[in-house]
Amino acid sequence: MENVKVQEGVKRETFTSQFGVLAAAAGSAIGLGNIWKFPYITGENGGAAFVLVYLLCIAVIGLPVMLSEFLIGRRSQKAAIGAFKDLKPGTPWFLTGWMGLLAAFFILSFYGVVAGWTLNYIVFSITNKLAGASPEVIGQTFGAFISDPVKPLFWQVAFMIMTAAILFGGVKDGIEKYSKILMPLLLVIILVLDVRALTLPGAGEGVRFLMEPHFDKLSIKGVLVALGHAFFSLSLGMGCMITYGSYIGKKQNLGSMALQVTIADTAIALLAGFAIFPAVFAFGVDPSAGPGLVFVTLPNVFNMMPGGYFFSILFFILLAVAALTSSISILEVIVTYFIEELKIKRSMAIIVGFVATTVFGVLCSLSMSPASVVSTWTFPTLAGMKNFFDTMDWWSANMFLPLGGLFISLFAGWIMKEQDVMDEVSSGGEFQVPWFKTFIWVARTLAPLMIFIVFLYSLGVIKV
Ligand code: TRP
């Protein structure tokens, strides 16, 4: 079996084709972050200025950190905690991996809830529940659904079971096979939605919202959100891409892979924005409506297009699939930690990870239901007190991931031998890497410095 490498007596599966790795990594990156979260945080943070800062974070910080994760993973042939132990034994660097593990728990718990909503919306679409409904009714239906104490739980658990089931299939037959077919299909359907949304009467205002920056609408907290989302959307800072990097074959070009994943992820987010904001303004939805934005605007778009019935089913199926190729990458992080660090069997690791994140997820979901006591719990964040759901999101995306990214970048820049990094990114001299010096410089100084400055500002240490 040429796709199984033997190292230190341990068989490690690798992805089997160049396109397969790309699809799996892009499948991890492209998910609810792009289609659900990016539009609503853009709406909450004032539009174009936020988008610009986000794009800057992607280019200057996201791309080098992604390459750093890939190279750390492929060099060590281990998942995050093991990778740091392997490359720098006897030092506290492996704690970066532990923080990633915590982030994975936090993220997967609320991620499963929102992914559950998408499953419910598949059913709404099939049963034509929102057909012909006014924008207000569509909004109320969403609100009533997510604050129901029982219904969302059913879908959340169903989604988590699907996530675990795919991981039982392993890397090649599970993750790679599905990503390869479904990701390109998602792109096509978003393009169709873009055409419809951009030709709605009143669409121009949505386009302006995304393209005309007003920096006065952007706060320093917004900059932190943009940075955090760059990590979230690219699946960085928790060791996810370290784990996937360890599955990438030695002959593949890590630099071009990181670039392609970054471009694909960013393109999907922007395309989602251009499908959603024209509709937000055309139907008079509040752009800062929060997590319901996609679920409330797009059904209006479907109501206004020929074949809307068909497109809405397809869209929510693909959104669920995009969420699935991401959630498996998060659960895979947890599972590989358990296998490599606690030496438990893969099946056991999947079950433990599944149960823990599902229980946390139930609490996330209940925190939005006034009928449940969980909705009265609040926890501190730098942006004020938040409910359980928002707390999981806030701490993981805005703190753990950027901090993880900071350490990963420093690790690739300063701790690993430059020669080893060169060897890894050039695949042992196979590829030309004229950008190598720039990359090392960015990983050493520019990226860490920018993350650090954003932190100082948002902690209030530096005042604007
Ligand atoms: N990037 C995914 C999305 O945008 C979510 C995700 C998957 C993720 N793996 C991750 C986020 C690792 C942070 C870290 O939906």
Q: What is the pLDDT of residues 316-346, one digit of tens each?
A: 988 998 999 899 999 999 998 888 888 999 9
Q: Which residues pair with 6 in a beta bridge?
A: 11
> Who lines ligand 1 at CB under 6 A?
28-29, 31-34, 107, 232-233, 235, 238, 240, 326, 329-330, 401
* Residue 4, Cβ density class (10 Å: 0-12 exposed, 13-18 middle, ≥19 buried): exposed
Please state, in angstroms and rounded to a whole number, the distance separating the CA atoms of residues 398 and 342: 28
Please state, in angstroms and rounded to a whole number, the distance separating the CA atoms of residues 173 and 166: 9
Q: Which of 72, 74, 66 is nearest to 84 (CA)?
A: 72
Please state, in angstroms and rounded to a whole number, the distance separating the CA atoms of residues 32 and 25: 15
Q: Which of 17-21, 173-177, 302-306, 453-457 has the lowest mean pLDDT?
A: 173-177
> What's the pLDDT at 273?
96
Q: Residue 316 Cα, ligand 1 centroid: separation in angstroms?
A: 19
Indicate whether 413 pLDDT > 50: yes
Indicate whether 354 pLDDT > 80: yes
Can you tell me which atom of ligand 1 is nearest the CA of 323?
Answer: 15
Indicate whether 60 pLDDT > 80: yes
Most confident of 149-153, 248-252, 283-287, 296-300: 149-153
Q: Residue 430 Cα, ligand 1 centroid: separation in angstroms?
A: 30
Compute and round to an integer the Cα radius of gyration of the chain. 21
DSSP code per residue over 152-214: HHHHHHHHHHHHHHHHHT-IIIIIIHHHHHHHHHHHHHHHHHHHHHHTSTTHHHHHHHHHS--
Indicate whether 173 pLDDT > 70: no
Q: Residue 420 Cα, ligand 1 centroid: separation in angstroms?
A: 28
Please state, in angstroms and rounded to a whole number, the distance separating the CA atoms of residues 77 and 168: 21
Can you tell me which atom of ligand 1 is nearest the CA of 397?
Answer: 13
What average pLDDT does the segment 54-66 reach?
Answer: 98
> What's the predicted TM-score (pTM) here?
0.93
Q: Give the mean pLDDT of the chain.
A: 91
